[in-house]
Chain A
């Protein structure tokens, strides 16, 4: 069964450094998402992406965050200058279509630890 893959599984970075989290969505999917889960908290929506542009973003997704689809298969989340509070599990998801009950399929996540 096709799946969303994320790399790396664990990223340790010094505060203030840039980090790029990578995702390969399911190949025929058109909608892409990033979520995060801070330890002990809920899974939170960050951003959705369709047709090479952001379609929705949360208040968490400030100017320090950016997303890109650099080629036909990868979808990346960049955090420009990491803060301690960015430490979390980051999940990438994709769906064949948007909304209307189309399930979003999640990767296994990247654990980001900011020191």
Chain B
């Protein structure tokens, strides 16, 4: 399933700076998008979502941007904290209720 792609397998960022994670998709039928965070030995934890009718959604330090024409979304984390070090998955869903996941980006926040 190549419908959702996260092309950066890893990201290293200084504590306090902005983390920007990117995600591309190919299926124009997706109508909502989600970001999940995953620590080792735990399941994915829901972070934030965005509907296809919006271009931005903000929740505290997390903001998701959606560019439908480019089939691209991004997650901004600002300021980055050491506890943000984890694997971040982009996921997309449509009317069939199943989620398609990207391969994940491992974020490391340096002190």
Using a CB–CB cutoff of 8 Å, the interface residues on chain A facing chain B are 4, 6, 31, 33, 35, 41-45, 48, 55-56, 58, 91, 93, 98-101, 103-109
Known contacts A42-B1, A101-B51: A109-B43 contact under CB 8 Å: yes
Q: Is A105 in contact with B46, judged by CB distance below 8 angstroms?
A: yes
Using a CB–CB cutoff of 8 Å, the interface residues on chain B facing chain A are 1, 31-32, 34, 36, 41-46, 49-51, 89, 91, 93-104
Known contacts A99-B32, A101-B51: A91-B43 contact under CB 8 Å: yes
- Nearest A residue to B6 by beta-carbon distance? A42
Q: Is B49 in contact with A101, judged by CB distance below 8 angstroms?
A: yes
Q: Is B101 in contact with A48, judged by CB distance below 8 angstroms?
A: no
Q: Is B103 in contact with A48, judged by CB distance below 8 angstroms?
A: no
- Nearest B residue to A107 by beta-carbon distance? B43
- Which residues in B have their C-beta under 8 angstroms from that of A106? 36, 43-46
- Which residues in B have their C-beta under 8 angstroms from that of A41? 103
- Which residues in A have their C-beta under 8 angstroms from that of B49? 101, 103
- Which residues in A have their C-beta under 8 angstroms from that of B99? 33, 35, 43, 45, 104
- Which residues in B have their C-beta under 8 angstroms from that of A6? 43
- A48 to B97 Cα, complex, angstroms: 8
**CB contact between A101 and one of B32, B100, B101 (< 8 Å): that residue:** B32
- Nearest A residue to B51 by beta-carbon distance? A101
Q: Is A108 in contact with B43, judged by CB distance below 8 angstroms?
A: yes
- Which residues in A have their C-beta under 8 angstroms from that of B104? 42
- Which residues in A have their C-beta under 8 angstroms from that of B93? 99, 101
- Which residues in B have their C-beta under 8 angstroms from that of A98? 97
Q: Is B43 in contact with A100, judged by CB distance below 8 angstroms?
A: no
- A56 to B50 Cα, complex, angstroms: 23
Known contacts A42-B1, A44-B1, A101-B32: A56-B97 contact under CB 8 Å: yes
